[in-house]
Amino acid sequence: MSNYLMQGFYSRLSADTGSSTNPVRTAVSDRIYAVEAPASSTLPLVVYSMESPDTERFFSGIVRSRALFTVSVFGKVEAGPDAIADIDRKVFDLLDQQAVTVTGHDRGYIRGVSRGTPIADGEYFRSDSTFELVATTTS
């Protein structure tokens, strides 16, 4: 089930919002990775990960899942914090308050929980934003 939540979240993160791409993909040249980026990846890039979803059961057997996703934007220090903040804003605009298809669920609904702030982390800047995805099984 959590696989479906991951897939639903990624489907929005990689969605085509025009010209076969979206502003986040364009900003990071399609470098969007789950959990961890490959070593020595070119910056900037986006990494997203999911925390274990909470489940809420109903008497009918239906289960509502609520998962938190962290979306981290990494960029070169020399690009400056504004560049990271700009990508982070694009991530928020792309994901916040969006309905997505989640297999076996009524729908998935993504909403922003916290906004990222660029911080220096060694040789790169990093900004973490969190989102919640809520989806209820249909049977």
Partner 1 sequence: MAYAIGSDGSVTLPSGYNAQLNTWSATISRTTSVVTGFGDTGHQRRASGVVDITGSAGGVPEYDDTATIPFPTAAGPPKVLDDAAGGSMTLQVADGCTLAFGAVFSSYAFSVTNDGDSTITFNFEMNDNDGPTVAWDETA
Smallest CA-to-CA distance from 13 within 73, 83, 63 is with: 73
Q: Tell me whether residue 2 or residue 111 sits nearer to partner 1 (CB atom).
A: 111
Q: Tell me whether residue 26 or residue 111 sits nearer to partner 1 (CB atom).
A: 111
Two tokens at 98?
Answer: 């969006």
Interaction pattern, residues 38-67, with partner 1; x per rule: CB under 8 A: ------------------xxxxx-x-x---
Q: How far is the CB of 64 from partner 1 (least distance, A)?
A: 8
Interaction pattern, residues 91-120, with partner 1; x per rule: CB under 8 A: --------------------x-x-------
Q: Tell me whether residue 56 or residue 82 sits nearer to partner 1 (CB atom).
A: 56
CA angle, residues 4, 8, 14, in degrees to nearest 5: 140
Q: Which amino acid is at 110?
A: I
What would you report as the CA-atom Rg of the chain, rounded to the nearest whole angstrom? Answer: 16
Q: How far is the CB of 71 from partner 1 (least distance, A)?
A: 17
Q: Tell me whether residue 72 or residue 136 sits nearer to partner 1 (CB atom).
A: 136
- The size of the interface with partner 1 (CB under 8 A), counted in residues, is 10
Q: Tell me whether residue 18 or residue 57 sits nearer to partner 1 (CB atom).
A: 57
List of residues contacting partner 1 (CB under 8 A) = 56-60, 62, 64, 111, 113, 136
